[in-house]
Amino acid sequence: MIKTDILIIGAGPTGLFTVFEAGLLKLKCHLIDALPQPGGQCAEIYPKKPIYDIPGFPEVLAGDLVDNLMKQITPFEPGFTLGERADTIEKLDDGSFIVTTNKGTKHHAPVVAIAGGLGSFEPRKPLIENLAGYEDKGVEYIIRDPELYRDKCVVIAGGGDSALDWSIFLSEVASEVTLVHRRNEFRGALDSVEKVQELKKLGKINLLTPAEITELEGNGKLEAVIAEKEGERIRLETDHFIPLFGLAPKLGPIAGWGLEIEKNAIKVDNTLDYQTNVPGIYAIGDVNTYPGKLKLILCGFHEATLMCQSAYQRIFPDKKYVMKYTTVSGIDGFDGTRKEAPKAVVKAIE
């Protein structure tokens, strides 16, 4: 069981900044995210896109913002459960919570902060009949362990970076790799496209374009896929079919946690602390809604700051905390580091 003061669901910018604000109050944080890396949408959808409305940064790439946030929270030693989706929540008699992920990892905290953005990212699934019947029986949407494909036949579908990169990687692992894409052109990085072209010439990747996988065949386990190429049906025997069409956010299991939902977002009672209708569960950033809500990263930062003050009072109801400025009080990291403004030198003038 992982224990922490504030359990943050969602490791996007708002979730990450919460660690900093909580750290100033000497509260430890642990983050859960369905994605395998922190950063949320910024890291997953547009890491190379510039953002222009972060105060103090005239222009910053989304990926660089995430890197900076990670650097900023390092002294507060957050824990991470990545690549797992928060599935269930249980409220204990003492008012604390146990959150369990889809892989069974349990987390215990007196306060839960949902900073889940638009929700957890789920694979976008192609429109193939009986696809669900072959999930984990030859159909996988995320490659977790490349060794699963060693000396196996693999068909990958998609035209982006993931499809290209995994085709290249698995060409050294699988016995046969076929990449299927609806068009002849790929939208991935140029060097990846060129590498696939080179591997095709060497006979290490079969390229099937313009084509689409339209049917799956098998008996309890995937045995073949049917590709349609310019009106022709082509049967490809394979052990695995990996559709890589990106990820789309879904609110997911959080929607069933008994929280008030409005317009696909979690309603918060007030804008004093962004607490939900369940005391002890807060919702901050793009995942929440209230009159006047703006879905902006900087609003998420503000909400995280107020939420942490409220969380402190919930955890320590008998203590009075006075807000301090980092310019005055500095930062005491849990790792023993201390940052503070240099002291003025006092010298007498003779």
According to the binding rule CB under 8 A, does residue 343 interact with other proteins?
no
* 263 belongs to the binding site for other proteins (CB under 8 A): yes
Quote the CA–CA distance of 153 and 237 in Å, as a whole number.
Answer: 8
Shortest distance (Å) from residue 308 CB to other proteins:
26
63 binds other proteins (CB under 8 A): no
- CA distance linking residue 9 with residue 298, whole number of Å: 18
Question: Considering the rule CB under 8 A, would residue 245 count as an interface residue with other proteins?
Answer: yes
Helix (H, G, I), strand (E, B) or coil at 121: strand
231 binds other proteins (CB under 8 A): no
Q: Is 185 in the site for other proteins (CB under 8 A)?
A: yes
Contact with other proteins (CB under 8 A) among 98, 251, 298, 299: 251
With binding defined as CB under 8 A, does residue 39 bind other proteins? no
**Beta carbon nearer to other proteins, 190 or 202:** 190
How many residues in the shown chain lie near other proteins by CB under 8 A?
Answer: 26
- Please give the Cα distance from 28 to 19 (Å, whole number): 7
Nearer to other proteins, 124 or 150 (CB): 124
Is there binding between residue 49 and other proteins (CB under 8 A)? Answer: yes
Q: What whole-number distance in Å separates Cα of residue 178 and Cα of residue 90?
A: 45
| Amino acid identity, position 262 | E
In whole angstroms, how close is the CB of 146 to other proteins at the nearest point? 23
- Interaction of residue 229 with other proteins, rule CB under 8 A: no
Query: Applying CB under 8 A, which of residues 82, 142, 248, 341 lies at the interface with other proteins?
Result: 248
Interaction mask 127-146, other proteins, x per CB under 8 A: x-------------------
For the window 94-133, what string marks contact with other proteins as x by the rule CB under 8 A?
A: ------------------------xx----x-xx------
**Cβ-based nearer residue to other proteins, 255 or 272:** 255
Distance from C-alpha of 309 to C-alpha of 119, rounded to nearest angstrom: 25
- Nearer Cβ to other proteins, position 73 or 156? 156
Is 149 annotated in a binding site? The answer is no
Binding segment (CB under 8 A) for other proteins, from list 85-93, 183-191, 218-226, 299-307: 183-191
The CA-based dihedral angle spanning residues 165, 166, 171, 172, taken in that order and rounded to the nearest 10 degrees: 90
Amino acid at 165: D
For the sheet with 240-243, list strands across it.
206-208, 176-180, 153-157, 240-243
Laid out side by side, the sheet with 232-237 consists of 211-218, 222-229, 232-237
Nearest to 72, CA basis, from 59, 52, 54:
54
Residue 266 binds other proteins, judged by CB under 8 A = no
- Rounded Cα–Cα distance for residues 272 and 284 (Å): 12
Cis preceding linkage at 210, omega within 30: yes
- 79, 123, 246, 333: which one binds other proteins (CB under 8 A): 246
Q: Contact at 8 Å (CB) between 166 and 186?
A: no
Q: How far is the CB of 80 from other proteins (least distance, A)?
A: 24
Burial letters 72-104, b for 16+ CB under 10 A, else e:
ebbbbebbbbebbbbbebebeeeebbbbbbeee
Q: Is 327 flagged in the annotation as binding?
A: yes
> Is residue 41 a known part of a binding site?
yes
Q: Which of 12, 13, 15, 249 binds other proteins (CB under 8 A)?
A: 249
Contacts 24+ apart (CB under 8 A), 89-92: 89/257, 89/281, 91/278, 91/280
* Contact indicator for 11, 82 with CB cutoff of 8 Å: yes
Per CB under 8 A, residues contacting other proteins are 41, 45-46, 49, 118-119, 124, 126-127, 158-160, 181-183, 185, 187, 245-246, 248-249, 251, 263-265, 289
Q: Which residues are annotated as a binding site for FAD?
A: 14, 33, 41, 46, 86, 121, 286, 327
Which amino acids are annotated as binding site, given as ranges? 14, 33, 41, 46, 86, 121, 286, 327
